[in-house]
Amino acid sequence: MTQLEVIKISKQEGLLTDVIQDTKSILKNMWRNRSGIEFMGRKYDQVKIPFLKKRIYLDNVIPGKIQDTLENLGFETKEGKRPIIVSKRKTEYGWHLVFSLPPGLSFGQFKQKQDYFADAVRGWVTLERRNGLVHMDILTGALPTSLPYEWRPDAYHKIALPVPVGVSQKGVEVLDLAESPHLLVAGVPGFGKSNFLHVLIHTLLPRALIGIIDMKRLEFAYLSNHAAVTRTEKDALQLVKALNREMERRIDVLEAANCVKVQEYKGQDMPYIVLVIDELAEIRDEQVLYYIDRIVRLARAVGISVVAATQRPSTKVINGDLRAMFAARVCYQVADELNSRMVLGENYSHAAYLPGIKGRAIYKFGLEIKEVQTMYLPLSKAKKLLKNQPKERWTYERQGKRLPPR
Ligand SMILES: Nc1ncnc2c1ncn2[C@@H]1O[C@H](COP(=O)(O)OP(=O)(O)O)[C@@H](O)[C@H]1O
Ligand SMILES: [Mg+2]
């Protein structure tokens, strides 16, 4: 055999492996990204195999996109081992994938790249580590662009202070304000902060005493017979002072009764109170701010919640320390990533990239973060709804006296 022939043969072999590699990747791509199989004019996205008790998905678009993402991000050990999908199933809202990791890859690496996965599937991805496996929940359903306010007063009777935040790709999101217990609502004007407060107030009226600080507009005036509405700093000061006195009283009573929080307390004299503030940044009076600050810091356990809306989430308006007390956040469109992070936390620039849809927001409670379409309650409808609510204006002016039990 001459040398020339050897070279020739190895060249051919090289060509062959190239062709095989190419075919492999073409096949892989077809397999991964197919959206089901058509058979006699009908499209099938899964087959059930009864004797194997298995369901095989023919539609692989989303898992394929995740695998492509993993590959493109270089999720591979030095020896070329990759995360393996050990189980996958379709859920009502998208997909649930479970990965097993080769030694050398970590859950943290997945977590860091969460946004890449979400962008690849044009949806939302949540990650969880369970039994050493990575569970990936993928939400792909589109959100509605408008969602009318709908609520049965007796719904969610097991939750003390249910607030319908809106719908996410998983369905209706309901926050228990008593658990949170403070809520921050932020975003540039015009996307639905005040509207969200109306929704919250109407839902909670049957369950809590509502105080409102409305410095900017008259839009909460129609609630005057049902809630304690203040529109000047002078009135607001009376309200927050009264709430501070009530807070002190409750702390003493709970201490004497050996209760850690109001939920454990059996007495009737501690109805939930919710202080709603629209446009927090408009309050200039130092004293008012001082008392609000105290309520936010100290009222956690005594059944008094603060819901504050602001278009300026900067530290001037609400310093980082105080902001941390608001466990629940709803953030509409903001000007930039910086503002988004100020409202939602270090890693969350999402609110800067929300679509320009009214009522669209990012909802965060604890570590969970979701895109939501919040409910819309036009003022005319709100006024009509109010006719069904009992008039129960509470008189916070009665200094030191008990608030009326419900
Ligand atoms: N959830 C919503 N869905 C649809 N449209 C909304 C929603 N919330 C508010 N809007 C519309 O946007 C306008 C501004 O809402 P508003 O609550 O006053 O915003 P903000 O207080 O953030 O400035 C409203 O007049 C209403 O037409
Ligand atoms: Mg507003």
For residue 189, what are the CA distances in angstroms to 90, 194, 233, 333, 334? Answer: 38, 9, 22, 9, 9
Residue having the nearest C-alpha atom to atom 15 of ligand 1? 192
Identify which of 406, 404, 397 has the alpha carbon closest to the alpha carbon of residue 243.
Answer: 397
- How remote is the CA of residue 55 from the centroid of ligand 2, in Å? 50
How far, in whole angstroms, is CA 223 from its chain's centroid?
28
Q: What per-residue confidence (pLDDT) applies to 1?
A: 47
Q: What per-residue confidence (pLDDT) applies to 258?
A: 92
Q: What is the CATH number of domain 42-139?
A: 3.30.980
Q: What is the CATH number of domain 162-386?
A: 3.40.50.300
- How remote is the CA of residue 194 from the centroid of ligand 1, in Å? 7
Ligand nearest to the Cα of 187, by number: 1
Ligand nearest to the Cα of 282, by number: 2
What are the b/e assignments for 108-143, b being 16+ CB within 10 Å?
Answer: ebbeebbeebbebbebbbbbeeeeebbbbbbbbeeb
**How do residues 183-197 score in pLDDT, each as one tens digit?**
999 999 999 999 999
Token pair of 165 as six digits: 């935040």
Backbone angles phi, psi at 110, to 5 degrees: -60, -50
Token pair of 88 as six digits: 């996958």
Domain segments of the chain as ranges: 42-139, 162-386
Give the angle 206-210-214 at the CA atoms, nearest 5°.
135
Q: What is the SS3 assignment for the chain?
A: CCHHHHHHHHHHHHHHHHHHHHHHHHHHHHHHHCECEEECCEEECEEEEHHHCEEEECECHHHHHHHHHHHHCCCCCCCCCCCEEEEEEECCCEEEEEEECCCCCCHHHHHHCHHHHHHHHCCEEEEEEECCEEEEEEECCCCCCCCECCCCCCCCCCCCCEEEEEEECCEEEEEECCCCCCEEEECCCCCCHHHHHHHHHHHHCCCEEEEEEECCCCCCHHHCCCCEEECCHHHHHHHHHHHHHHHHHHHHHHHHCCCCCHHHCCCCCCCEEEEEEECHHHCCCHHHHHHHHHHHHHCCCCCEEEEEEECCCCCCCCCHHHHCCCCEEEEECCCCHHHHHHHHCCCCCHHHHCCCCCCEEEEEECCEEEEEECCECCHHHHHHHHCCCCCCCCCCCCCCCCCCCC
Burial class (CB in 10 A: 0-12, 13-18, 19+), 61: middle
Identify which of 380, 336, 381, 379 has the alpha carbon closest to the alpha carbon of residue 192.
Answer: 379
Q: Which residues line ligand 1 (CB under 6 A)?
A: 146, 187, 189-195, 358-359, 374-376
Task: Say which residue, 264 or 307, is predicted with more confidence.
Answer: 307
Q: What per-residue confidence (pLDDT) applies to 19?
A: 75
Ligand nearest to the Cα of 191, by number: 1
Residue having the nearest C-alpha atom to atom 2 of ligand 1? 359
- How remote is the CA of residue 90 from the centroid of ligand 1, in Å? 35
Task: Say which residue, 331 or 400, is predicted with more confidence.
Answer: 331
Task: Say which residue, 294 or 1, is predicted with more confidence.
Answer: 294
Q: What per-residue confidence (pLDDT) applies to 394?
A: 65
Identify which of 184, 201, 212 has the alpha carbon closest to the alpha carbon of residue 310.
Answer: 184
Q: 195, 201, 203, 377: which to mutate for ligand 1, most atoms within 8 A of CB? A: 195
Q: What per-residue confidence (pLDDT) applies to 404?
A: 45
What are the b/e assignments for 324-352, b being 16+ CB within 10 Å?
Answer: ebbbbbbbbbbeeeebbbbbbeeebbbbb
Rounded Cα distance between 83 and 276, Å, is: 48
- How remote is the CA of residue 79 from the centroid of ligand 2, in Å? 57
Picking from 31-35, 321-325, 399-403, which range would have the lowest pLDDT averaged per residue?
399-403
Give the nearest ligand 1 atom to 278 CA: 21
Token pair of 263 as six digits: 């939920």
Identify which of 69, 71, 44 has the alpha carbon closest to the alpha carbon of residue 59.
Answer: 44
Q: What per-residue confidence (pLDDT) applies to 218?
A: 83
Q: What percent of the chain has pLDDT over 70?
A: 92
- How remote is the CA of residue 48 from the centroid of ligand 2, in Å? 52
Give the nearest ligand 1 atom to 197 CA: 17
What is the rounded average pLDDT for all residues in the chain?
Answer: 88
**How do residues 27-80 score in pLDDT, each as one tens digit?**
777 777 778 788 888 888 888 888 888 888 888 899 999 999 999 999 999 999
Q: 191, 200, 333, 357: which to mutate for ligand 1, most atoms within 8 A of CB? A: 191
Rounded Cα distance between 165 and 159, Å, is: 14
